[in-house]
Structure 1
């Protein structure tokens, strides 16, 4: 393909989803990805599109009681390539949707490579195009040259936060005479996680080790950059109080340890604290430490994490790490269709807009692709209703958040408008999702009738 109608910069989840949505509507797309052109980010390890650099989880897949699960379903209803490939490469994770990261990224890369309307070019783009419809989906690890250009073009300084990566452990190095398989409250298949139990003494020693462990040192320009609450390094959580981890990633509630079973408690008792590992690939050979994002130096990680019962001989396929994420002040800079107010031929999509999470990033890419396709047809696509997960997330990014203190946000029910009628608290989530499904079905029907006309 030698010509194109729209240029997408960035082949992560948002850029890949936007490219797919456009291509499926007959639009010729040029997708520029710098990985493969001699460039690499601090977090990526491959040249594949839609590579998952942190967790392999898309979080809850419960579309009845969870906002991100509802977002999953809305994206499926709109033909999301990210959800299609995620469903095809899922691995056990209780009520969550977790994927084999390599199989998932391979599938997305193959789908886009084989699409006749998509041309993938391995190149780094250092500045915003002065003309031509463009989608910037470079993500939170935008190359410094382009980030500086965006800052100059918008007349405002980009915001930033730190994001951390959790370690991955080889399954055959975990001692299952100490650890055991179980999901909290036996959800999912009931044995989707490996659990490593800690006594009170072991937990307190581990907590102190996190406090004392040698950490990554920040450069001067990084010192005022905040962490994102949804991906907080475990040692930073430890600094907030001795029990913070026991109410967070090391929560033992709902996990019966069969190794300490007694006649009075044949299923076992909850440990004082627990470290959970979730399957990371389809073969089940790699498992990631859930919630264990860290800025500890590599040597300190190995030494401390091998004090966890069951991980004394752990072999790590990847250790944790820390990288700087950049995002724009979207409520100030973008309109309701994600166009840059000062240069409306440019749209932004994905985590660079300040949405947080794999699914949210792809969801914004999906909608930006659809907005752009409608514009190319000479039409205006109304955003999904605010009562839907997609509409609530878009609304937060473009106008709902306070531009004076804009921070990354996952989709959550707090972004949805209140219910019109009073509903008992126990039924509130189901009522919100039922309302959302109705609103989304009506919006899809309306947009399909308009397109057919």
Structure 2
């Protein structure tokens, strides 16, 4: 079969993109290396859309939860992944969890019945030089294809242990304890007022207790197949730095030099306004709703992170959009390399979808695959692509990947309300989640009607 578009990778994103295109009548070739003599260190079988880790698609609550809202919007687009998940659903409270074998089987059966979709079990070693293509090979992209992607994007290596720092919701930080300042009030190249960071001050006792907590905290272990993967740019987990010496962190990510705390001009702090150590948070998105903890990549288990990081002054009530980690990954610096339609700027016949774009999670991966399918369908039809509203979950996720995130610090991210434009300040905090979802549903309804027509 001569195809209109070639999709490389039969995971969640590739399967969803293939579904969106083939059911609209386009001829699709879907290449998946598993089942053709190749596999990955993490997959167990050859089924399309195999769930490698958890069997959960997380919360299905579309009234108060960003991922539940994403479920709602994907269902409105006729998502195969959501249809198969519903069919394979198992009891899990308000979460959407599935029997992973039933789920994979449902996806593969649905795709196999489409006469204009050709599923080919083969490994693709290089990016095609011509023809519309969607690359959806995920975080375990085969080494040969990763090398080809690296050559096309200028990346020396796409496989590494990437530093993922925890991200905190701005509204949960106690600014009666913290303060805004850059080191020595230095103004950066973009201008400003020299107050670009949120600073959490520590006394000597605070610091020593925190360092001991890092040393004692329960850590995750790398899998055997991750053992030889290098760290990204030599980054180290914060607990490794803590183990190198009592003052290592104070001369590294927790350096207090040049940070004068205005809250400490009191008798309770006889040494003046200079903290013994400082935890800094840097704005993570253009909206200013998310702030990352600078230099806090970690192997601590998630529950341990929440407990320990809430001992930091000013973060006692911190709510986390994402917790820290250090793991093997393959993803593009999408804000720098991809345009607003997820096309590679240097080779616009190629789109990227799924986790390789820097989204995180099953649902997010499938959602990006869904959008690349719709984008490609519009292009093949000669129609103008209309993106989903910025206030929707789909729109917020797309905007984050293609430009809202800071390219220099871009890291994988789950969908969360910190990616959405803020709701009106008059909305009380307890009602904000409902306000986000209500606004999103109202704004995206006409777009969903057009997509499903």
TM normalised by structure 1 equals 0.67
1:353-392 matched pairs, under 5 angstroms: 353-392=357-396
Matching residue within 408, 431, 442 for 1:438: 442
Aligned partner of 2:330 in structure 1 is 326
Aligned partner of 1:219 in structure 2 is 228
Q: CA deviation at 1:325?
A: 1.8
Q: For 1:329-387, what per-residue CA distance to the aligned partner results, in whole angstroms no more than 9, with x for missing partners?
A: 00001111111111110000000000000000000000000000000000121110100
Distance 1:97 1:226, change over 3 A: farther
Q: Distance in 2 between matches of 1:391 and 1:154?
A: 25
Q: CA deviation at 1:94?
A: 1.2
Distance 1:162 1:375, change over 3 A: same
Aligned partner of 1:204 in structure 2 is none
Aligned partner of 2:16 in structure 1 is 17
Say if 2:11 and 2:49, in contact at 8 Å, map to a contact too.
yes
Q: CA deviation at 1:236?
A: 2.6
1:14-413 matched pairs, under 5 angstroms: 14-160=13-159, 162=161, 210=218, 218-219=227-228, 221-222=230-231, 224=234, 236-237=300-301, 243-244=307-308, 324-413=328-417
Q: For 1:114-152, what per-residue CA distance to the aligned partner results, in whole angstroms no more than 9, with x for missing partners?
A: 111210000000100000000000011000110111010
Q: For 1:75-105, what per-residue CA distance to the aligned partner results, in whole angstroms no more than 9, with x for missing partners?
A: 0010000000001111111111000001000
Q: For 1:171-196, what per-residue CA distance to the aligned partner results, in whole angstroms no more than 9, with x for missing partners?
A: xxxxxxxxxxxxxxxxxxxxxxxxxx
Matched position secondary structure for 1:132: coil
Distance 1:114 1:415, change over 3 A: same
Q: Distance in 2 between matches of 1:241 and 1:434?
A: 32
Distance 1:246 1:86, change over 3 A: farther
Q: Distance in 2 between matches of 1:324 and 1:212?
A: 13
Q: Distance in 2 between matches of 1:372 and 1:20?
A: 12
Q: Distance in 2 between matches of 1:238 and 1:424?
A: 29
Q: CA deviation at 1:324?
A: 2.5
Distance 1:20 1:214, change over 3 A: closer
Q: Distance in 1 between matches of 2:338 and 2:388?
A: 17
Say if 1:160 and 1:225, in contact at 8 Å, map to a contact too.
no
Q: Distance in 2 between matches of 1:73 and 1:46?
A: 30
Q: CA deviation at 1:48?
A: 0.2
Q: CA deviation at 1:208?
A: 7.1
Please list every run of 5 or more consecutive structure 1 residues that lacks an aligned counterpart in the other structure. 164-206, 248-293, 295-321
Q: Distance in 2 between matches of 1:214 and 1:447?
A: 43
Distance 1:403 1:238, change over 3 A: closer
Q: Distance in 2 between matches of 1:79 and 1:18?
A: 12
Distance 1:161 1:437, change over 3 A: farther
Matched position secondary structure for 1:87: helix
Q: Distance in 2 between matches of 1:242 and 1:365?
A: 32
Distance 1:209 1:100, change over 3 A: same
Q: CA deviation at 1:63?
A: 0.1
Segments of 4+ in structure 1 off by > 2 A?
Answer: 156-163, 207-227, 232-247, 444-448
Q: CA deviation at 1:323?
A: 7.0
Q: Distance in 2 between matches of 1:117 and 1:45?
A: 28
Distance 1:417 1:208, change over 3 A: closer
Distance 1:379 1:397, change over 3 A: same
Distance 1:64 1:225, change over 3 A: same
Distance 1:148 1:446, change over 3 A: same
Q: Distance in 2 between matches of 1:426 and 1:30?
A: 48
Q: Distance in 1 between matches of 2:227 and 2:3?
A: 42
